[in-house]
A and B are shown apart, each in its own frame.
Chain A
Amino acid sequence: MTANERKILRCAVYTRKSSEHGLEQDFNSLDAQREAAEAYVKSQAHEGWRLIKTHYDDGGLSGGTLERPALQALLTDIRGRKIDVVVVYKVDRLTRSLADFAKLVELFEAHGVSFVSVTQQFNTTTSMGRLTLNVLLSFAQFEREIAGERIRDKFAASRRKGMWMGGTIPLGYDVHDRKLIVNKGEAETVKFIFERYLVLGCVSRLRVDLDQKGIRSKQRILTSGCVLGGRSFERGALYHLLRNRIYRGEVVHKGIAYPGEHEPIVSEELWNAVRVRLSDNLTRRRQARVEGGALLQGLIFDDRSNRMSPTYTMRRKNRYRYYISQACLRGGEVGSRPRISADDVERLVVEELCRQQNRVDQITDMASGAWSIDIRELVRTLVDRVVVHHDWIELTLKGKDLNHAGELVDGDTQSEALKSFKLSLAPCHPRARKEIFAPDSGARPRRIDHELLLALARARSWMCMLRQGEIIDTAEIARRHGLSEPHVRRLLRFTYLAPDIVEAIVEGRQPRTLTVKLLLQGIPLDWSDQRAAFGLR
């Protein structure tokens, strides 16, 4: 190459052709694009433009994404500084997305690459060029979005007409010519499932029942060869099946059912009966949940921000409910009042709420914790947090308020912020004094000898059983406990230790020398001899 005053500019041609059929179909082919671009490069040869050998061609790929192999190769080469100019037939060949294009231009500029469109004369180095480019790309993007909407509209329109638009084929149907056709055998199964549900009245039981009867879900074979279904129904699948409007001959699009082109399988009567039963069960379950829970569950905390959980103790068939700090249960720093009577704190909160809402009728003497749905609703909607301090509770309400009709209105007319109230609480009793003074407990550290205690306990219980005839002889004891008979006999003597020695052992006051081993060596008959032998007093 001769020393030229003009720098050599390496030009790369990028071509793309999506599967869309455009107006200039012939022209848009990859070869045509390349031809035009190469001609353009040749025409600029006097400027030092030289074509590089690599071809960057993307066939059948949309301009909506940057994930195109040839484009990525081009970008890699740009980063590798192997390219000075990128030539395309039209701007939209590079991308149809404004955001993507901005990214590309940025990359080009960063690597000193200019960008030329053969049929659209502009230069990205000038502001005017960039404006033109943006306008063009805005339209390109618009066009793309319109296409998407067109497809969605078409889909919705088809659904409205009741056409089957693909997806997994429900049990009871086959698909022929893109239409749902009733499969006689499966349709019977579907009807059976609906009827069986009415009989059993519960999906869980229905599941077990169907499983026992060997009724299986529809089997599908995917194009990949995977086989799905053909297994026992799960509860979720049954709920879906029992609520699938397809079986009423309808097609649902975005929550709206349209009469479908296919035949219904389930009669209206059966369908309605099942629907009523399903919603009945649902409300019953929800109600149980609302009624069962503690009123302030999840809302109440101690003053160290530990959640307080509902709990209770049973005394003589009475249930005493409490809230207890999680720190008590799981460890951690406990607040100043780690447990509180549920009745006390609930009453305090409800009374305050009712007072604020001018509702007096609400509080009646009812069973502990049996708050009405009304009250529960009131607490759930208004209370943000209840914090239990030593002798007061902090009640924080949400920035909402109920108007007098009982409807929820947004609190921004009053005060946006959370409102806090201080409610005083009877202080918990200080722990009553309970003390025990043992006679001459002395200063000697107590040391419970568990081995000794066990030996003592065994000896006494064995002797008791022997005397009552529950055990015949020492051989049997030895066998039961895997001990030797002489050992058992020696242990039996422990029964007759002097009472004060037993007291000392149980209280851990015995001398260190008094061990099982020592006692096994023999126990004197006389208590005073025992005391002397074992070092007591």
Chain B
Amino acid sequence: MNDRGRDEVDTHDLNRLSRDELRALWAKELGEQPPATLGRDVLALGISYTRQERHQGGFSKPFARELDRLLDQVLRGDRTEMPTALTTALPRRGTILVREWQGTTHHVTVADDGFLWNGRTYRSLSSIARAITGTNWNGPRFFGMREMNGKMPETRRDS
């Protein structure tokens, strides 16, 4: 794990800058014009976040993807769709996924930039699932991340 507590990123200068100075700094460091409406506090937070992220790393890619998916569900008010199993299964770096497939047990480790399996890094769980099974699978589903306790797999009633 990285040494997050002590870093050399200086954030204290931000407190002294005016709003206009912060806007200019944002444009310089984030490479885009800040939204017109943001105040000093958020501008400073945004800049310091970007600096620290560059230095210490942010979310792992898989986590960021799943996080977006999850928060999207939260916004849609889909509380039933968001059991604790799902949130525990967010691919935080260091998480190990174990999946048995036709007698062989496979271990996948969540890394910063993807997933480690068989000594290689894969961009997605789905690509690992395809490598294991030879067919297309939904990766998170294949590795049991979408499994909800006691819920039936989706089936349609014959009409």
Seen from chain A, the residues whose Cβ lies within 8 Å of a Cβ on chain B are 294, 309-314, 322, 324, 328-329, 432-439, 441, 446, 448, 450, 453-454, 456-458, 460-461, 463, 466-467, 469, 472-475, 489, 492-493, 495-496, 498-500, 502-503, 506-508, 522-523, 525-528, 531
Given contacts A313-B155, A473-B36, A489-B39, 20 further A-B contacts (CB under 8 A): A311-B158, A313-B154, A313-B156, A435-B97, A437-B95, A439-B94, A441-B88, A448-B84, A453-B74, A457-B71, A461-B75, A467-B35, A475-B37, A489-B41, A489-B42, A496-B46, A500-B4, A507-B90, A526-B52, A528-B5
Count of CB-CB pairs between chains A and B under 8 Å: 157
Tell me the bound Cα distance from A446 to B84 in angstroms.
8
Cβ of B59 and Cβ of A438 under 8 Å apart? no
Cβ of B67 and Cβ of A474 under 8 Å apart? no
Cβ of A311 and Cβ of B157 under 8 Å apart? yes
Cβ of A450 and Cβ of B79 under 8 Å apart? yes
Asked if B14 lies at the interface with its beta carbon under 8 angstroms from chain A, I say: yes
Tell me the bound Cα distance from A525 to B53 in angstroms.
12
Residues in A with CB closer than 8 Å to B94 are 438-439
Residues in B with CB closer than 8 Å to A500 are 4
Asked if B19 lies at the interface with its beta carbon under 8 angstroms from chain A, I say: no
Residue tally, chain B, CB below 8 Å to A: 63
Tell me the bound Cα distance from A120 to B74 in angstroms.
97
Task: Report the 6 A-B pairs with minimum CB-CB distance, sorted nearest first.
Answer: A434-B144, A439-B94, A457-B71, A473-B37, A433-B100, A496-B45
Question: Which residues of B (82-124) have their CB < 8 Å from a CB of A?
Answer: 84, 87-90, 92-101, 105
Tell me the bound Cα distance from A500 to B94 in angstroms.
13
Q: A527-B56, A531-B5 are in contact. Are A436 and B39 (CB under 8 A)?
A: no
Tell me the bound Cα distance from A448 to B147 in angstroms.
18
Residues in A with CB closer than 8 Å to B153 are 313
Asked if B18 lies at the interface with its beta carbon under 8 angstroms from chain A, I say: no
Considering only CB atoms, which chain A residue lies closest to B143 in the complex? A434
Question: Which residues of B (20-63) have their CB < 8 Å from a CB of A?
Answer: 32, 35-39, 41-42, 44-46, 48-49, 52-53, 56-59, 63
Tell me the bound Cα distance from A392 to B147 in angstroms.
29
Cβ of B87 and Cβ of A507 under 8 Å apart? yes
Cβ of B49 and Cβ of A496 under 8 Å apart? yes
Cβ of A523 and Cβ of B45 under 8 Å apart? yes
Tell me the bound Cα distance from A294 to B158 in angstroms.
9
Q: A311-B158, A312-B156, A527-B56 are in contact. Are A437 and B98 (CB under 8 A)?
A: yes
Residues in B with CB closer than 8 Å to A473 are 35-37
Residues in B with CB closer than 8 Å to A439 are 92-95
**Binary contact readout B1-27 vs A (1 if CB under 8 angstroms, 0 otherwise):** 000111101011011000000000000
Q: Which of A457, A474, A498 contacts B37 (CB 8 A)?
A: A474
**Could you pull out 14 A-B pairs where Cβ atoms are within 8 angstroms?**
A309-B157, A434-B144, A439-B92, A439-B93, A448-B87, A453-B74, A457-B75, A473-B35, A473-B37, A474-B37, A495-B46, A500-B4, A528-B4, A531-B5
Considering only CB atoms, which chain A residue lies closest to B66 in the complex? A506
**Shortest Cβ distance from residue A461 to the other chain B in the assembled complex, whole angstroms:** 6
Q: Which of B37, B89, B100, B157 contacts A472 (CB 8 A)?
A: B37
Tell me the bound Cα distance from A523 to B79 in angstroms.
27
Q: Which of A328, A438, A456 contacts B88 (CB 8 A)?
A: A438
Residues in A with CB closer than 8 Å to B154 are 313
Residues in B with CB closer than 8 Å to A458 are 75
**Shortest Cβ distance from residue A436 to the other chain B in the assembled complex, whole angstroms:** 5
Q: Which of B79, B88, B100 contacts A434 (CB 8 A)?
A: B100
Residues in A with CB closer than 8 Å to B84 are 446, 448, 508
Considering only CB atoms, which chain A residue lies closest to B1 in the complex? A439
**Shortest Cβ distance from residue A242 to the other chain B in the assembled complex, whole angstroms:** 30
**Shortest Cβ distance from residue B139 to the other chain A in the assembled complex, whole angstroms:** 12
Cβ of B95 and Cβ of A438 under 8 Å apart? yes
Q: A294-B158, A328-B152, A525-B14 are in contact. Are A436 and B95 (CB under 8 A)?
A: yes
Cβ of A525 and Cβ of B15 under 8 Å apart? yes
Residues in B with CB closer than 8 Å to A454 are 74-75
Q: A489-B42, A507-B87, A527-B56 are in contact. Are A502 and B98 (CB under 8 A)?
A: no
Tell me the bound Cα distance from A285 to B9 in angstroms.
77
Q: Which of B11, B67, B71, B99 contacts A526 (CB 8 A)?
A: B11
Cβ of B87 and Cβ of A436 under 8 Å apart? no
Cβ of B42 and Cβ of A493 under 8 Å apart? yes
Cβ of A499 and Cβ of B75 under 8 Å apart? no
**Shortest Cβ distance from residue A338 to the other chain B in the assembled complex, whole angstroms:** 9
Cβ of A503 and Cβ of B99 under 8 Å apart? no
Residues in A with CB closer than 8 Å to B41 are 489, 493, 522
**Binary contact readout B118-159 vs A (1 if CB under 8 angstroms, 0 otherwise):** 000000000000000000000000011101000011111110
Most buried by A among B57, B152, B158: B158
Cβ of A434 and Cβ of B98 under 8 Å apart? yes
